């Protein structure tokens, strides 16, 4: 029955049907893009504020690993510890401890496997800045591709991915640091924003522990809300979504207006108001579901691929469960908006409708 309604809708209103479906698909794609955009902002923001929670200490290369273990045992608020190596003027980062997996992502390629991390396999994540702008390279730095070999102390490391950090830093597993390689610095990232007094005390503790000098420490910064930082983007997003809903409502109202005669005749032939409402709602529900599925595929396999090919660090941060949540929310809003319109047209008197046609 519902398929008959959809076929009748398409047969008699090909142009309107096409416009309606295209608007639905574009609206859902906009929701996916917006959700990913906000998610990527939070990811980007986490990288930006990481610097404001980072202490960098020079090293004397004596019992470094033992000192890092002591640091972690005595300071549970530490979330990330990594060493920095100078490889003929190029910076290399080797993560020793990472409480979360937020840093373990790549723009292209793959991240280190558990085997790479535990066994110290010679793998490297390339910095993204030279890679993204490789076509504009002025030969100031060497460009590597995934699969190439990058040498540290004459030892080849296989490039398996492109990092997300906006800098020139290479990344390797801590266990794969060459034995004859001197570590330059250790970087410590804490979970919380400390006060100026706590920053000074923790800096002194680190200098004493590592027998080094603090090269960089956080600064006390005021807490700001998401709205203060991204009010313009949020208003723009709300405006775009509102315009999409308005256009859909306008077109669907016009579509129902062109089907007044069909609705009235079905009512005269004995179809109840409830039955008509259910059928027309299921029609729009089915179209919305089809549009959602097509949008998911188009967004994931066309839009994101093109963004990545253009060099944008825009990752698909949505899991299958996230798509389901968005689908439920989409159908709920869709029902709240369109069901009253359907009820309004179905409850009109058939005789009055036919006299106006």
Give the model's pLDDT for residue 261.
Answer: 77
Q: Which residue has the higher pLDDT, 191 or 152?
A: 152
CB 122 within 8 A of CB 157: yes
If one counts every other C-beta atom within 10 angstroms of the C-beta of residue 223, the result is: 6
Give the model's pLDDT for residue 231.
Answer: 59
Contacts 24+ apart (CB under 8 A), 279-283: 279/1, 279/2, 279/5, 280/5, 280/256, 280/342, 280/346, 281/335, 281/338, 281/339, 281/342, 282/2, 282/5, 283/2, 283/5, 283/6, 283/9
Q: Please report which confidence band the pLDDT of residue 47 belongs to, taking 50, 70 and 90 as the band edges.
A: very low
Backbone angles phi, psi at 116, to 5 degrees: -60, -45
| 54-58 and 214-216 strand pairing | antiparallel
At 297, list the tokens: 């595929």
List the one residue out of 274, 259, 283, 249 whose CA is nearest residue 347: 274
Question: What is the Cα–Cα distance from 260 to 353, expressed in whole angstroms?
Answer: 7
Burial class (CB in 10 A: 0-12, 13-18, 19+), 235: exposed
Q: Please report which confidence band the pLDDT of residue 206 belongs to, taking 50, 70 and 90 as the band edges.
A: very high
Give the model's pLDDT for residue 10.
Answer: 58
Q: Please report which confidence band the pLDDT of residue 172 belongs to, taking 50, 70 and 90 as the band edges.
A: very high
At 278, list the tokens: 């259910």
User: Measuring CA to CA, how many Å separate 274 from each of 138, 182, 278?
Assistant: 70, 78, 6
Q: Please report which confidence band the pLDDT of residue 74 belongs to, taking 50, 70 and 90 as the band edges.
A: very high
CB 199 within 8 A of CB 218: yes
At 97, list the tokens: 């401890």
Burial class (CB in 10 A: 0-12, 13-18, 19+), 187: buried
Q: Which residue has the higher pLDDT, 152 or 313?
A: 152
Q: Please report which confidence band the pLDDT of residue 225 belongs to, taking 50, 70 and 90 as the band edges.
A: very low
Question: What is the Cα–Cα distance from 239 to 237, expressed in whole angstroms?
Answer: 5
Report pLDDT digits (tens) over 313-332: 566 667 788 788 888 888 88
At 32, list the tokens: 């996916």
Give the model's pLDDT for residue 281.
Answer: 86
Q: Which of 40-49, 54-63, 133-142, 250-259 has the highest mean pLDDT?
A: 54-63
Ranges 6-20, 39-53, 82-96, 98-112: which has the least confidence: 39-53
Helix (H) or strand (E) holding 152, with range, is strand 149-152
Give the model's pLDDT for residue 226.
Answer: 46
Count Cα atoms within 13 angstroms, Cβ side, for 97: 22
Taking residues 45-60, report their average pLDDT.
67
Ranges 225-229, 276-280, 301-305, 344-348: which has the least confidence: 225-229
Question: What is the Cα–Cα distance from 168 to 149, expressed in whole angstroms?
Answer: 17
Tokens 């029955």 belong to which residue?
A: 1
Number of H helices, E strands in the chain: 12, 10
Taking residues 56-83, report their average pLDDT.
89
Question: What is the Cα–Cα distance from 210 to 29, expressed in whole angstroms?
Answer: 51
Give the model's pLDDT for residue 3.
Answer: 56
Question: What is the Cα–Cα distance from 261 to 353, expressed in whole angstroms?
Answer: 7
Rounded to two decimals, the pTM is: 0.51
Question: What is the Cα–Cα distance from 255 to 40, expressed in whole angstroms?
Answer: 38
Helix (H) or strand (E) holding 200, with range, is helix 196-210
Give the model's pLDDT for residue 209.
Answer: 92
Ranges 36-45, 163-172, 262-271: which has the least confidence: 36-45
User: Could you give the percent of the chain with pLDDT greater than 90?
Assistant: 10
Q: Which residue has the higher pLDDT, 318 or 60?
A: 60
User: Could you give the percent of the chain with pLDDT greater than 70?
Assistant: 74
């Amino acid at each position: 029955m519902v398929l008959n309604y959809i076929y009748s809708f398409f047969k008699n209103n090909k142009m309107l049907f096409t416009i309606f479906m295209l608007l639905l698909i574009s609206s859902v794609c906009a929701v996916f893009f917006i959700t990913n955009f906000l998610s990527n902002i939070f990811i980007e923001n986490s990288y930006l504020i990481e610097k404001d929670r980072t202490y960098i200490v020079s090293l004397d290369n004596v019992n470094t690993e033992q000192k890092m273990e002591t640091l972690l045992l005595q300071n549970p608020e530490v979330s990330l510890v990594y060493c920095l190596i100078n490889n003929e003027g190029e910076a290399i980062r080797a993560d020793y401890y990472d409480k979360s997996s937020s840093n373990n992502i790549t723009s292209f390629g793959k991240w280190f496997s558990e085997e790479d991390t535990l066994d110290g396999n010679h793998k490297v994540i390339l910095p993204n800045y030279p890679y993204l702008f490789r076509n504009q390279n002025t030969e100031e730095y060497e460009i590597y591709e995934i699969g190439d070999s990058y040498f540290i102390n004459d030892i080849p490391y296989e490039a398996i991915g492109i990092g997300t950090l906006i800098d020139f830093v290479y990344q390797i597993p801590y266990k794969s640091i060459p034995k004859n390689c001197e570590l330059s610095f250790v970087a410590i990232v804490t979970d919380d924003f400390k006060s100026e007094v706590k920053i000074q005390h923790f800096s002194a503790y680190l200098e004493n522990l590592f027998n080094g000098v603090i090269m960089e420490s956080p600064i006390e910064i005021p807490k700001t809300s998401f709205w203060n930082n991204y009010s313009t983007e949020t208003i723009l997003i709300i405006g775009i979504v509102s315009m999409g809903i308005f256009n859909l409502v306008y077109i669907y109202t016009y579509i129902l207006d062109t089907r007044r005669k069909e609705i009235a005749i079905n009512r005269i032939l004995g179809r109840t108001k409830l039955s008509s409402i259910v059928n027309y709602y299921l029609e729009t529900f089915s179209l919305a579901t089809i549009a959602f599925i097509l949008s998911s595929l188009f967004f994931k396999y066309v839009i994101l691929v093109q963004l990545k090919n253009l060099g944008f660090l825009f990752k698909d941060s949505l899991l299958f469960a996230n798509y389901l949540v968005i689908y439920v929310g989409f159908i709920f809003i869709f029902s709240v908006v369109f069901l009253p319109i359907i009820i309004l047209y179905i409850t009109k008197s058939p005789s009055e409708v036919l006299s106006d046609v």
